[in-house]
Structure 1
């Protein structure tokens, strides 16, 4: 996959959008009815490996891969979305003193309705003392399970939406407990390989293949993000080409080996937001748009941002990646507005 030159109408729009994003490295890529248009740029000198060929950290966008894995295992009869978390975990190191903890299901974890906090309290304390340190790196699975056992859910599971990295992280050991296989092997065998995502990994690649993140100032480099036991919530890295393939699988599920789970993760399940206008599927945010909803998710690590969105009615998908995070980067808003505009236009 190579980026296009400005000149086509869509290429010109992507080029304009790239210049509006404040980041050392930027990639915008669109698929419309299977035709791909890719534009790169940024404030830094072009890296030795072209920007469109680098792997980017997806942060919370990794959750869409984990929940697709969950849906695939459910379709295969290995587990049920409504299995209790405690029944799918390895033996817990501590008893569960809070009754709500025993009621949490795998579906609750996927849809952020478990009642668990966004991140464990001990990670918050560490971040306040060392704001630029990666507290996830030293957080192993044993500690994750011990923390879960001690944590009181904020509300009865299934009654309220509350975004939780903590909850999605627990899907990793739960899926391993259900299958007897490690999460990386499960994701590779059940999702990445069937979809042909050969440039998607759960860790750093060889030197020169991974994008280098930056702090919010856009200058200071940030080291590779090791997510420790939060691997299921934020460890996926992928090239723009693989991410377009991933979106195309969602837009045309029947052409893939994962047709049923790909459709399952797009079914609306709950409403939230002002006047309950915004809908959530098992893993995607869903907003109203022309001719039908658009689905999207965002992600960030310590020095990178990512956006994936698709509009089934116009058969359009959009990938946006940047080696800087933060609101001043303007990547998320630019990507969302571009996808929303494309959704309202005829796709030839």
Structure 2
């Protein structure tokens, strides 16, 4: 009799446990979308005119959400064009990887080998020359920007300065620049260095950088919306953003180059993520660690790198313009990528996007575990 009671109690407990487990699995699966949207809603905090778009790629599956309304009342969608700022650098890095794969450039060769008609004796310090490795990891010793100074930004002259800055101006400044540190020693985030990588690619391929990005990347990935927009008609397609105080900001991407000039939309960046998760040889090369610290953080081809909770490599980059902020993270082994963009560029906007990305990643992992258990 006691044995029968014991078996009955065990069965009841087992059924109860399975019921609770099924409930948890269902909860995780159902709430992935709502949890993600809740994070975005909390981030926007009811700010009028602010929008946010997100794309989550998980192997062959994609999840894309758009929240908020623009000043004209329109809700963003997969075709809404945004400036993506320094996410452009990852395209430049991928193009450099392709050039290495093609045998056009070498990672550790003196970059002056690729610069014609000038010796640029100033591009070395204590007999140490700059290499593409240094450009790709922001350790070249070159300054952050040429076109405008911090004083220009503080006094409101930044847009006027960059709108008049030309390629000739860049190379004139390059002949005069003094390196801040010995190449390879110190980190300094440098759009000057990234633009130089773009000019080197133009030199070795004898093609405009914009055409190279199209041929090497966007035509392969199918990114019809990712492009440099220079004409007034093209610029008018781009979403206008604001600073953290609600002031409308001008669009700067038309005057930026390899360090930040691209614009795109959710549909195209989704395709870019899928391309970054592909088996293309230049993609694998571009994920190669070029520099790593004792903390586990490192740098690849214009990617920052770290390890996730499972000790797997993750690559990330933030993108900021004068009125737009974006975040892109790739988990190559897991075949996961997350892109978030908003039309606000406040002081803490990008760190907030990073935090949202981490939570969305956790929601996705929980969701996948739930689906696996249900299966």
Task: Give the TM-score normalised by the residue count of structure 2.
Answer: 0.80
Q: CA deviation at 1:227?
A: 5.1
What SS does the corresponding residue of 1:298 show, helix, strand or coil? strand
Task: Label 1:327 to 1:341 Cα distance change in 2 as closer, same or farther (>3 A).
Answer: farther
1:270 alignment partner, one of 268, 281, 291: 291
Give the Cα–Cα distance (whole angstroms) in 1 for the partners of residues 123 and 302 of structure 2: 26
Q: Separation in 2 of the partners of 1:334 and 1:52?
A: 23
- 5+ residue gaps in structure 2? 1-28
Distance 2:147 2:249 in 1: 24
Matched, 1:200 2:226: yes
CA contact (8 A) 1:89 1:177 kept: yes
Residues 311 and 343, structure 1, Cα contact 8 Å, conserved in 2: no
The residue number in structure 2 matching 1:4 is none
Q: How many residues align?
A: 332
Where does residue 216 of structure 1 map in the other structure? 244
Asked if 1:341 corresponds to 2:341, the answer is no
The 1-side partners of 2:235 and 2:199 are apart by 30
Query: More displaced, 120-129 or 259-268?
Result: 120-129
Does structure 1 residue 106 correspond to structure 2 residue 132? yes
Quote how far apart the aligned CAs of 1:331 are.
3.9
Q: Secondary structure at the match of 1:120?
A: coil
Distance in 2, Cα, partners of 1:95 & 1:280: 27
Report which stretch shifted further, 324-333 or 22-31.
324-333
Shift of the 95–248 alpha-carbon distance from structure 1 to 2, 3 Å rule, reads: closer
State whether structure 2 residue 353 is matched by structure 1 residue 332. yes
Structure 1 residue 16, shift from structure 2 partner:
0.6
**Structure-2 separation of matches of 1:118 and 1:132:** 14
Change beyond 3 A, Cα 1:343–1:91: farther
Q: By how many angstroms is 1:35 displaced? A: 1.0
8 A Cα contact 2:67 2:76, kept in partner = no
Match of 1:225 among 215, 239, 252: 252
The CA distance in 1 between the partners of 2:57 and 2:124, in whole Å, is 47
For structure 1, which runs of at least 5 residues remain unmatched after alignment? 1-6
Counterpart of 1:11 (choices 33, 46, 50) is 33
Give the structure 2 partner of residue 300 of structure 1.
Answer: 320
Query: Once the 2 structures are TM-superposed, how far is the Cα of residue 122 of structure 1 from its aligned partner?
Result: 4.9
Relative to structure 1, the CA distance from residue 265 to residue 343 in structure 2 (aligned partners, 3 Å threshold; closer, same or farther) is: farther
Q: 1:163 aligns with which of 161, 185, 189?
A: 189
Deviation string, structure 1 residues 207-238 (Cα, Å, up to 9, x no partner): 763212112223x322221453x400000111
The 5 A counterparts of 1:84-123 are 84-92=110-118, 96-97=121-122, 99-100=124-125, 103-120=129-146, 122-123=148-149
Separation of aligned partners in 2, 1:97 and 1:284: 27
Q: Displacement of 1:343 after TM fit?
A: 7.1
Distance 2:53 2:180 in 1: 39
TM-score, length-scaled by structure 1: 0.86
> Matched residues in 1 for 2:227 and 2:321: separation?
15
| 2-structure distance, mates of 1:134, 1:49 | 31
Aligned structure 1 segments of 4 or more residues deviating by more than 6 angstroms: none
Q: Is the Cα contact below 8 Å between 2:40 and 2:356 reproduced in 1?
A: no
Distance 1:340 1:277, change over 3 A: farther
Asked whether the 8 Å contact 1:113–1:157 carries over to 2, the reply is yes
Give the Cα–Cα distance (whole angstroms) in 1 for the partners of residues 121 and 77 of structure 2: 47
